[in-house]
C-alpha cells in the first residue's frame, strides 16, 4: 500500500470531523465484511491481549500508526498480524482512543474530544445499547495496553520491554485514568448525539 501512516506526522488529516467519520465508516465496512467469516476450527491466532467478546475476527490494533493514506481516495489499514477473535466494540474502543484521541497528554488532549467521540459513534452507526456498553469499555481497553506492556517487560520480552522503559506504559495508564475520570462526559455526548440522530430521522420529509 503506497502512502504514509497517519501517526505522527500526518495526524492533522484527522482534525476535520468528516475525516474522523471516514475512519469510523472504514472500520464499520471492515467489521461488516468479516461478520459472517468462519475461520477453520484449528486456526491459531497471535492476539497478544485477550479480547472481550468474539463475535468477529477483529483487527485488534486499529490506530493512526496503522492507517495508510495514499491520497484522498485510497485509505487502508495495515499490520494485521494481531487479528483474531474479538468484538466490534473492542476494536472501536481502541480506535476511538487513537483517532480522537482520548489522551491525557497535554500535546494531544482535545477540548472537543466528547464531540469527536459522538461524530465517530454516529458515523460507525452505534445504537444506544452499544454506546452505553462502549463508555466503560474505553478505559478497560486502554488500561489493557498498560497491563500488557507491564507483564511483557517483566518477562524481558522485546520490543515491549524497551517500550515500557521508554515510558509507554505510563502513557497508557495516564490515558486510561483520564478516560475513566470523564466517563460521564463521554456518556452524555454519545446519548445526546443519538437523540439528535433520532430527531433528524423523525422529521417529515420536506415538500418538493
Angle of CA points 6, 144, 94, to nearest 5° = 35
pTM of the full structure: 0.90
% of residues, the chain, pLDDT over 70: 92
Q: In sequence order, what are the residues at sequence separation of 6 or more whose Cβ sits closer than 8 angstroms to the Cβ of residue 3?
A: 68, 69, 70, 71, 74, 76
Single out the residue of 127, 85, 107 nearest to residue 175, CA to CA: 107
Average pLDDT, the chain: 92
**For residue range 17-59, what is the model confidence (pLDDT) as tens digits?**
999 999 999 999 999 999 999 999 999 999 889 899 999 999 9
Which residue ranges form the domains of the chain, and what is each CATH number?
Answer: 4-37+50-202 (1.10.510.10)
pLDDT at 203 over 60: no
Mean pLDDT, residues 52-70: 95
pLDDT single digits (tens) 98-145:
999 999 999 999 999 999 999 999 999 999 999 999 999 999 999 999
Q: Of 78, 94, 101, 92, nearest to 4 (Cα)? A: 78
* Phi and psi torsions of 5, nearest 5°: -70, 150
Predicted local distance difference test score (pLDDT) of residue 204: 53
Which 8-state DSSP code applies to residue 107?
A: T
pLDDT for the residue numbered 205: 53
SS3 content of the chain, % helix, strand, coil (to 5): 55, 5, 40
Amino acid at each position: 500500500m503506497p502512502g504514509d501512516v497517519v501517526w505522527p506526522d500526518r495526524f492533522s488529516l484527522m482534525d476535520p470531523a468528516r475525516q474522523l467519520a471516514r475512519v469510523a465508516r472504514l472500520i464499520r465496512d471492515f467489521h461488516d465484511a468479516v461478520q459472517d467469516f468462519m475461520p477453520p476450527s484449528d486456526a491459531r491466532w497471535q492476539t497478544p491481549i485477550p479480547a472481550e467478546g468474539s463475535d468477529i475476527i477483529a483487527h485488534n490494533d486499529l490506530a493512526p500508526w496503522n492507517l495508510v493514506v495514499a491520497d484522498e481516495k485510497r485509505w487502508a489499514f495495515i499490520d494485521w498480524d494481531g487479528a483474531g477473535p474479538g468484538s466490534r466494540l473492542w476494536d472501536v474502543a481502541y480506535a476511538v482512543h487513537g483517532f480522537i484521541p482520548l489522551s491525557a497528554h497535554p500535546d494531544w488532549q482535545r477540548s472537543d474530544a466528547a464531540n469527536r467521540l459522538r461524530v465517530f459513534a454516529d458515523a460507525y452507526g452505534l445504537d444506544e445499547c452499544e454506546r452505553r456498553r462502549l463508555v466503560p469499555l474505553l478505559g478497560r481497553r486502554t488500561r489493557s495496553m498498560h497491563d500488557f506492556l507491564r507483564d511483557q517487560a517483566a518477562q524481558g520480552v522485546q520490543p515491549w520491554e524497551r517500550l515500557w522503559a521508554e515510558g509507554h506504559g505510563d502513557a497508557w495508564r495516564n490515558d486510561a485514568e483520564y478516560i475513566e475520570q470523564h466517563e460521564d462526559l463521554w456518556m452524555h455526548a454519545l446519548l445526546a448525539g443519538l437523540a439528535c440522530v433520532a430527531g433528524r430521522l423523525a422529521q417529515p420529509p420536506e415538500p418538493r
